[in-house]
Amino acid sequence: MTEALEIQPATGPVRGEIRPPGSKSITNRALVCAALGQGDSRLTGALDSEDTRVMIEGLRALGIGVTVSDAGETLQVTGCAGQPPAAQADIFVGNSGTTIRFLTALVTLGRGNYRLDGIARMRERPIADLADALNQLGANVACTGANGCPPVLLKSKGLSGGEATVRGDISSQFLSGLLMAAPCAKQPVTLKVAGTLVSVPYVAMTLSVMKSFGVSAVAAADFSRIDIPSVGHYKSGDFAIEPDASAASYFWAAAAVTGGEVTVRGLNRESLQGDIAFVECLAQMGCKVHYESDAITVIGMPLHGIDVDMNAISDTVQTLSVVALFAEGITRIRNVGHIRHKETDRISAVATELRKLGAEVREHSEGLDINPGKITAAEIDTYNDHRMAMSFAIAGLVQPGIVIRNPECTAKTYPDFFAGLTRLTKQ
């Protein structure tokens, strides 16, 4: 394994086209809906990464057939018609938040005893609010780790249904997991969200994927209440997965910081993924953005700092933080306190690494203020967080001497990221 990777600066403005791999978020949602379907489903354009592999292995442990082909981009899923076949399973989820949250909800539909666990960091990521909501629907879920964290133990006999309330301020994945399991409950389910829901576009994505597999839920405009019918199982079918918009943010950022022009193919204004709104942040900072039916292009221009609420697109906070290094004036990122509970405390980690590069950073509970200074070379710690590695690599396209420690952590969602970045800079 490579312990560190020095980023080679671009020789000029980065110009070119790229199509990132499939969306992790959509891939894992489609896997769950297909797994709960009746019959075979074919998923195309899927992401092959650590997060999707642990999801596939988790489904297989539950007796659900998943066949992988085309270098991981095509997945054939044999659905279980709403009831996982295995009566017992011990599922390892690595550090995949979507996997443990989605599968915790899914296995309540089974008949038997199940255990879900992950790496040390996963045992620091709370899941008690999801367990509590599932128990309100008739499940038997226990978080045996400290402070409501994994390992998770379940004694399942099917999910009764009814009404449950779930907190919305920690992770939208709790709600998404509940939503995808709900159609297979014995009775209709009503979910109520307590407080402000974070990352709303991801819940909209979940509802859209569910609809593609034949289940339509009725949601309030602010997602404070969602009603899901009891249909027993999803319908099977073919489903195409679009490129990952979070991954695309790094390439759009490359255009922004080098004054270049980068087109990402496979995405458009109507994408299922809320993170395409990242380009609007770049537009506020001075970039030009062009939308096509199958592409979005960012043209780098002189950058200035902005004050922005990134709650809905929080997976791109790290990317924008690095872009802020190259802007005139202070950038303030707000309303993203929930990212302290991700692969690492992303607010604290970003602040620490930006300071290494010469920025003045004021960290607050819900975000950070970035005042760029003279950028300097530095070795960047990634905290085993894929987004730290990919976002800070963008600074290395301009500043020589940027070294990314533990670059292999990008395997979580984008194993070929550095190769893709090199290809783009050499176009």
Give the active site residues: 315
Other beta carbons within 10 Å of 308: 21
Contacts of 326 (CB under 8 A, 6+ apart): 256, 257, 303, 372, 375, 398
Token pair of 277 as six digits = 């709104």
Distance of CA 8 to the CA centre of its chain: 27
Q: Bridge partners of 68?
A: 75
Other beta carbons within 10 Å of 8: 14
What are the backbone dihedrals phi and psi of residue 423, each rounded to the nearest 5 degrees, phi first?
A: -60, -40
3-class SS letters over 58-100? HHHHCCCEEEEECCCCEEEEECCCCCCCCCEEEEECCCCHHHH
Per-residue exposure over 35-56, b if at least 16 CB sit within 10 Å of its own CB, e if not: bbbbeebbbebbbbbbbbbbbb
The answer to whether 126 and 80 are in contact (CB under 8 A) is no
For the CA atoms of 94, 96, 102, 107, the dihedral, rounded to the nearest 10 degrees, stands at 0
